[in-house]
Chain A
Amino acid sequence: MNKQIANGLRVGLTFGIVNIFLFLIKFPVIAGTIIKKIIPNFIVALFPINPDILDILIFIGLIGIWAGASGGRKLDEKSDNWLTSFVGGAAAGLVNALLIGALVFILGSLTDAHVKINAYLAAILPAVVKLFLLDQNTLNGSLTQFVFSFVAGALGGVLGFAFRGQWFASLKNKWNAAWASLTENPQIKKTFARPIARIALSALGIAFLLFIPQIAGKYWNYTIGTVGIYVLLGLGLNIVVGFAGLLDLGYVAFFAIGAYTVALLTAPNPHHLMWNFWTTLPIGVVLAAAAGILLGIPVLRMRGDYLAIVTLGFGEIIRILATSDLLTSFTGGPRGVTAIGQPTLFGKPFSSDTDFVYIIFIGIAIAIFITIQLRSSRIGRAWEAMREDETVAQAMGINTLSHKLMAFAIGAALAGLGGVLFASRNQFTGPEDHNLMVSINVLSVVIVGGMGSIPGVIAGAFALKGLPEILREVQDYRILIFGALLVAMMIWRPEGLWPTARRSMELHSADPEDPESGEAKTSEDKP
C-alpha cells in the first residue's frame, strides 16, 4: 500500500509539472476544442456552460483520469485490487490537483493585483486566466480546479483497475485472435502469393494512384506534391545515410543547386535565358551530382561527426552566398527568382498542381528503381560492408572513397531533381527555401521512416510533411509536438515506422543494458 501511495505521489508530481507547463502555454484551451470535435454534439449539449470552459474541463478531466490510472497502476501481481488502485489514483490526483490549484490560484491573485503576467509569459492574458478560473473569483476558481482534478484522479485509479480487469484482457485476446486468423489464414496467404493476384493488385494500385490527383483538389494535390518532393529527397538521403552510413547535415545544398539551376536558366529575371524546362532538368541533376563529388573529394575522408559539421557548413555557405550582395545580380539575392519555367507536354503547359503530382510520382518511381537496383548490386553490398566496418571493408578490397563518392553523388543527384521540381512547381525559389531546417527535416524523414527502407521513407515523409498539414488546428503547437514526437519515436521505435526487417532485428536484439552491444553487433551478409 505504501508503495502504491509513493508511486501515486510520484506520478502526480510528474503529471502536475507537465500540467503546469501545458497551462502556461495555454494548451488546455486548444486541446479541449479538438477533443470536443471527437465527442458527439449531443453529449456536449448536455452541459449548458460556457463552451470555452467546457473545453478546459474536458482536457483537465481526461489528463486527471490518465494521472489517476497511472498512479493506481498495477505494481505487483498480488496486491492489485480496487482499494490500492483507488488509493494510488487518489494520491496522484491529489498532487496533480494541488499543483494545478496552486498555479491557478497564483495566476488569479497576480491578475487581481494587476500584474501584467503576459509581459513575461506570453500566453497568460487576463482573459485566459479568467478561463482557467472557470469564470469564478480567484479562490473559488482554484478550489474548483483542485476538487475537479482530485476527483478525476481518484476516478482514474478505479477506471484503470476496471480496464485492466478480466473482461478487457479477454476482449484484447479475442481481437488478436481474429486478426491472426485473417492474416495467418493459409488460404488468403496463398491467394495473395499468386503472381496474378499480385499483378492485379499492383495494377489496381497504380490505377488508383493515377486517379487520386484527379479528385484530390488543388490544395491536397499541392500537399501531396510537397510530400512527394520530400519522398524524393528522403530517398536520396537514404542512399547517403541509410546505405553508406555517411551523416550529411547539408543535404539542402544540393537541393538548392537543383532549384537555382532551373530558376536561373528558365526565369525572365535576372538573366532572361528562358530555356525550356525539360532541358534544364538534367542540367540541374548533373550539376547537383557534380557538386556532390566536388564537396565529397576533400571531406569524405573525415570521420562521421566531422562530416556532419562540414556538410552543415556547406549547406549554410550555399544559402548565404545565394542571399549575399556578392551574388545578388547572379542569383536574385534575398528576393529570390520568380516566374520560373514550367514543364510542357506536346507544346501544351503541363504544370497544374495535378500535373505536377504525376511528374513527382514519376520522379519517385525512378528514384525507387535506382535504389532497388543499387541495393541488390555489388555497390550496394560494398556500401553495407563499409557502413558496418570500414576497416574490414577496405581489407576486402573495397575502394571506400570511390564508393562513398558514388553514394554522395547519387544522393546529390536526387536532391537536385527534387530541387528542380520544387522550384518549377512553386514558380519561385529563394534563399529561405534552402535553410538548415530542410536538411534536418529530410534527415528526420529518413530516420523516422526507417533507415535504408524505401517504404519507410514514404511513411516518414507522409508523417512529417503530410500530418502537420492535416493537424493545422494546433498550428501554434505543431512544431512543439513534432519535436516531442521525434524524441518519443527514437526512444520507443528507433528503427522507424517501416523498418527493413534486418534493421529492426538489429535494434531489438540488442541488450539495452549493455552500452556496447548496439555497436558491436556483427552482421550476416544479406542475400
Chain B
Amino acid sequence: MNKRLFALLSLLVVASMALAACGSAPAATEAPSAATEAPAAQAGGAPAACSDALGCAVFKPGDSITIGLGAPMTGDNAGFGIDADNAMKLAVKDAGDFQGWKFALISEDDGGTPEGGATVANKFVSNPSIVAVAGHLFSGATGAAVPIYEAAGIPMMSPSATNPALTQSGSKVFNRNAFTDATQGVYAAEFIYNTLKLTKIAVLHDGQAYGQGLAQVVNDEFVKLGGTVTTFQAINPGESDYSAVLADISAGKPQLVYFGGYVAEAVVLVNNFKQAGLAGVPFFSDDGVYGQDFLDRTGANGEGSYGTALIPPASAAKDKFDAAYLAAYGEPAGKLSPYSWNSYDAATVLIKAIESVAIKGDDGNLYVPRAALVAAVRATSGYEGVSGKVTCDATGECAASGPVFYVDHNGEWVLP
C-alpha cells in the first residue's frame, strides 16, 4: 500500500508539473515579447492612468493588441462561432493599425456551454495581451464567463447573448449589442395580437435556454393581452421529425404557431406542418431562425412564415461590409448565423474604445488602462456601425435597433 501511494503521489506530482509547465508556455511561446501587466508602481514611462488596481496592459512595439472571442467553433452550433470569427476578422482588418500597433483576434472554442465558457474566460484573463472580449456568443457560456472577466477588468461586447438576466446583475464589464429575449418576446406577442389580429396561438420551444425563455415571455405576454394559448409544448433539439408534436398542436386548432428556438429545428417543423394538419397555419419565429437558410430549406412550405431580425437597415456601411464578407468567405453575411453584422460592430466598438483610451508612454510602449477601457466601452454613444447606431445604456444594453418582423414571401424575407 505504501508503494502504491508512492507511485500515485509521484504521478500526481508529474501531472501537475506538466500542467504547470504548460501554464507559462502559451504566453511565452505565442508572443515572444508578450505584453506584461504593468504594476501600479512601475517606473519609466507608465502613464498615471495605470496606477489603479487593474493597471494597464502594456504593448511593446510590434506586439498586437488582442481581442478575444469565445464561441462554439466545433459541434452543432459551430456556424455561429465561425460566422462571428469571420466578421470579427474583417473588423480587425478594417481597424488597420493604431499608432503603429496592430490589432489581432484570438478565437477559442467554448462549445457554447457554461463549462467551456469558464475555461475560455480563464484562458483569456491569463493572457495579458487580451484587453477586451467580443463575446461570448451563447448566453450560457457568457453567464459563466462574466464573473471571471469582472475580476480581471476585461470589457465584453457580446453580439448575440440575449438572456435578459445577463445585464441585470450589475456587471460593469458585460455589454451587448443584441436586443434581449424579453424585448423580443413582448414585441412579438404585441405584433401577433395587435397587428396580425390573431387571438389563438400555440407556443412551442426547443427546450434550450434561449428558446424556452423567449417562448415563456411570448406566452405570458399574449395571455396578458387577452389572447389564448392553445398548447404550450416543447421539443428536443436535434431531431429530424417533429410531426407527432405538431399533430398534438394541430388538435388545438391554433391560428398561428410561435416557436422559440433556432433555425435547424424551425426548418424541420415547418416542413412537417402539412403532414401534421397545420397547412395554412402561419409559423412565427425569432431571430435564431431568420436567415437565408430558412428560406432555402423550407421552400414553398415556408411561404407566409414570420421571422424576427436584427438585420440592420440598408446603409453604405452595411453594403460595404456585405461585399467584403462575400469576397472573403464566399458566402453572404447572415448565412451562417444572423449575427454577422452585430459581430462586426461588437469588435469594432471594442477597438474604438481601445483607441480612445490607449496612451503611448514615454518609453515607446503602448499602455491600455483597463479600468478606463471598461468605462469607455460602457460609454459608447452614437457609434455608426453596420448594424445602425450603437449606444450603450447604463446597464450595458447597446442594441442598435429593436426587432423587426419579416414574412417569407416567394422565398424572400419582406416586410409584412
Q: Which B204-222 residues sit within 8 Å CB-CB of chain A?
A: 207-209, 212-213
B residues within 8 A CB of A273?
none
Q: Which A278-305 residues sit within 8 Å CB-CB of chain B?
A: none
B1 at the interface (CB under 8 A from A): yes
> What's the nearest-Cβ distance from chain B to residue A457, in Å?
10
Across the interface, do A466 and B19 meet the contact criterion of CB distance under 8 Å?
yes
Q: Check A334/B212 contact, CB under 8 A, given A220-B23, A498-B11.
A: yes
Q: Check A202/B330 contact, CB under 8 A, given A335-B212, A430-B140, A458-B11.
A: no
Q: Which B90-105 residues sit within 8 Å CB-CB of chain A?
A: none
Q: In the complex, what distance in Å separates the CA atom of A430 from the CA atom of B9?
A: 34
A residues within 8 A CB of B125?
218-219
Q: Which A438-478 residues sit within 8 Å CB-CB of chain B?
A: 454-455, 458-459, 462, 466, 469-470, 472, 475-476
Q: Which of A118, A219, A462 contacts B330 (CB 8 A)?
A: A118
> What's the nearest-Cβ distance from chain B to residue A362, in Å?
13
Secondary structure type dominating chain A contacts: helix
Across the interface, do A335 and B209 meet the contact criterion of CB distance under 8 Å?
yes
A338 at the interface (CB under 8 A from B): yes
A residues within 8 A CB of B329?
125
B residues within 8 A CB of A338?
143, 165
B residues within 8 A CB of A336?
114, 140, 209
A7 at the interface (CB under 8 A from B): no
Across the interface, do B119 and A469 meet the contact criterion of CB distance under 8 Å?
yes
Q: In the complex, what distance in Å separates the CA atom of A430 from the CA atom of B8?
A: 33
B residues within 8 A CB of A476?
73-74, 109
Binary CB contact string for chain B from 231 to 250 against chain A (1 if under 8 A, 0 otherwise): 01010100000000000000
Q: In the complex, what distance in Å separates the CA atom of A220 from the CA atom of B19?
A: 7
Across the interface, do B13 and A216 meet the contact criterion of CB distance under 8 Å?
no
A residues within 8 A CB of B144?
426-428
> What's the nearest-Cβ distance from chain A to residue B61, in Å?
20
Q: In the complex, what distance in Å separates the CA atom of A438 from the CA atom of B64?
A: 37
Q: Check A335/B213 contact, CB under 8 A, given A209-B16, A433-B115, A466-B15.
A: yes
A83 at the interface (CB under 8 A from B): no
Q: Which B359-375 residues sit within 8 Å CB-CB of chain A?
A: none
A residues within 8 A CB of B10?
201, 205
Q: Which B321-338 residues sit within 8 Å CB-CB of chain A?
A: 329-330
Across the interface, do A324 and B20 meet the contact criterion of CB distance under 8 Å?
no
Q: Which A189-225 residues sit within 8 Å CB-CB of chain B?
A: 195, 198, 201-202, 205-206, 208-209, 212, 215-220, 222-224
Q: In the complex, what distance in Å separates the CA atom of A275 from the CA atom of B18?
A: 38
A325 at the interface (CB under 8 A from B): yes
Q: Check A202/B22 contact, CB under 8 A, given A427-B147, A459-B15, A462-B15.
A: no
A372 at the interface (CB under 8 A from B): yes
Closest partner residue, chain A, to B114 (CB atom)? A428
Number of A-B contacts (CB under 8 A): 151
> What's the nearest-Cβ distance from chain A to residue B68, in Å?
12
B352 at the interface (CB under 8 A from A): no
A residues within 8 A CB of B2?
195, 198
Across the interface, do B15 and A470 meet the contact criterion of CB distance under 8 Å?
no
B356 at the interface (CB under 8 A from A): no
Across the interface, do A458 and B8 meet the contact criterion of CB distance under 8 Å?
yes
Across the interface, do B13 and A205 meet the contact criterion of CB distance under 8 Å?
yes
A390 at the interface (CB under 8 A from B): no
Instruction: Give the size of the chain B interface in residues (CB under 8 angstroms).
Output: 52
> What's the nearest-Cβ distance from chain A to residue B143, in Å?
6
> What's the nearest-Cβ distance from chain A to residue B297, in Å?
13
Q: Which A305-339 residues sit within 8 Å CB-CB of chain B?
A: 320, 323-325, 328, 333-336, 338
Q: In the complex, what distance in Å separates the CA atom of A219 from the CA atom of B119?
A: 7
B113 at the interface (CB under 8 A from A): yes
Q: Check A323/B8 contact, CB under 8 A, given A218-B122, A336-B140, A430-B140.
A: no
Q: Which of B19, B115, B147, B165 contacts A216 (CB 8 A)?
A: B19
> What's the nearest-Cβ distance from chain A to residue B72, in Å?
11
Q: Which B16-52 residues sit within 8 Å CB-CB of chain A?
A: 16-20, 22-24, 29
A20 at the interface (CB under 8 A from B): no
Closest partner residue, chain A, to B1 (CB atom)? A372
Q: In the complex, what distance in Å separates the CA atom of A206 from the CA atom of B6?
A: 10
Q: Check A208/B114 contact, CB under 8 A, given A220-B20, A223-B119, A469-B119.
A: no
B residues within 8 A CB of A215?
20, 23
Closest partner residue, chain A, to B232 (CB atom)? A325
Q: In the complex, what distance in Å separates the CA atom of A222 from the CA atom of B165?
A: 25
B residues within 8 A CB of A384?
none
Q: Check A216/B74 contact, CB under 8 A, given A202-B5, A372-B1.
A: no
Q: In the complex, what distance in Å separates the CA atom of A324 from the CA atom of B208?
A: 9
Across the interface, do B22 and A470 meet the contact criterion of CB distance under 8 Å?
yes
> What's the nearest-Cβ distance from chain B to residue A263, in Å?
12
Q: Check A219/B23 contact, CB under 8 A, given A125-B330, A335-B213, A454-B8.
A: yes
B340 at the interface (CB under 8 A from A): no
Q: Which B133-149 residues sit within 8 Å CB-CB of chain A?
A: 139-140, 143-144, 147
Across the interface, do A222 and B118 meet the contact criterion of CB distance under 8 Å?
yes
> What's the nearest-Cβ distance from chain B to residue A514, in Å?
33
Question: Could you say which of B11, B108, B208, B232 has the most chain A C-beta atoms within 10 Å of its C-beta?
Answer: B11
A126 at the interface (CB under 8 A from B): yes
A residues within 8 A CB of B109?
475-476
Q: Which of A195, A222, A372, A470 contacts B4 (CB 8 A)?
A: A372
B7 at the interface (CB under 8 A from A): yes
B163 at the interface (CB under 8 A from A): yes
Across the interface, do A475 and B20 meet the contact criterion of CB distance under 8 Å?
no
Q: Which of B4, B114, B232 contacts A433 (CB 8 A)?
A: B114
Q: Which of A208, A328, A372 contacts B212 (CB 8 A)?
A: A328
> What's the nearest-Cβ distance from chain B to residue A255, in Å?
12
Q: Which of B19, B24, B73 contacts A224 (CB 8 A)?
A: B19
B residues within 8 A CB of A208?
13, 16-17
A residues within 8 A CB of B147?
427
B residues within 8 A CB of A466?
15, 18-19
Closest partner residue, chain B, to A369 (CB atom)? B5
B183 at the interface (CB under 8 A from A): no
A116 at the interface (CB under 8 A from B): yes
Q: In the complex, what distance in Å separates the CA atom of A69 from the CA atom of B147?
A: 53
Closest partner residue, chain A, to B236 (CB atom)? A320
Across the interface, do B6 and A202 meet the contact criterion of CB distance under 8 Å?
yes
Binary CB contact string for chain B from 103 to 131 against chain A (1 if under 8 A, 0 otherwise): 00000110001110011001101100000
Closest partner residue, chain B, to A195 (CB atom)? B2
> What's the nearest-Cβ distance from chain A to residue B233, in Å?
8
Closest partner residue, chain A, to B30 (CB atom)? A473
Closest partner residue, chain A, to B139 (CB atom)? A335
Across the interface, do B108 and A472 meet the contact criterion of CB distance under 8 Å?
yes
Q: Which B368-385 residues sit within 8 Å CB-CB of chain A?
A: none
B12 at the interface (CB under 8 A from A): yes
> What's the nearest-Cβ distance from chain B to residue A410, in Å?
19
Q: Which of A205, A353, A428, A475 contacts B12 (CB 8 A)?
A: A205
Across the interface, do B73 and A475 meet the contact criterion of CB distance under 8 Å?
yes
Across the interface, do B209 and A430 meet the contact criterion of CB distance under 8 Å?
yes
B residues within 8 A CB of A209?
9, 12-13, 16
A-B contact pairs, 18 of them (CB 8 A): A195-B2, A205-B13, A208-B13, A209-B13, A212-B16, A216-B23, A218-B122, A218-B125, A219-B122, A219-B123, A323-B207, A335-B140, A336-B140, A430-B140, A433-B114, A466-B19, A472-B123, A479-B74
Q: Which 6 A-B pairs have the closest CB atoms?
A: A220-B23, A219-B126, A219-B122, A222-B122, A205-B9, A462-B15
A-B contacts besides A209-B16, A212-B17, A335-B209, 17 pairs, CB < 8 Å: A198-B6, A209-B13, A216-B23, A218-B122, A218-B126, A324-B234, A333-B209, A335-B212, A336-B209, A338-B143, A433-B113, A433-B114, A455-B8, A462-B19, A470-B19, A472-B108, A472-B123
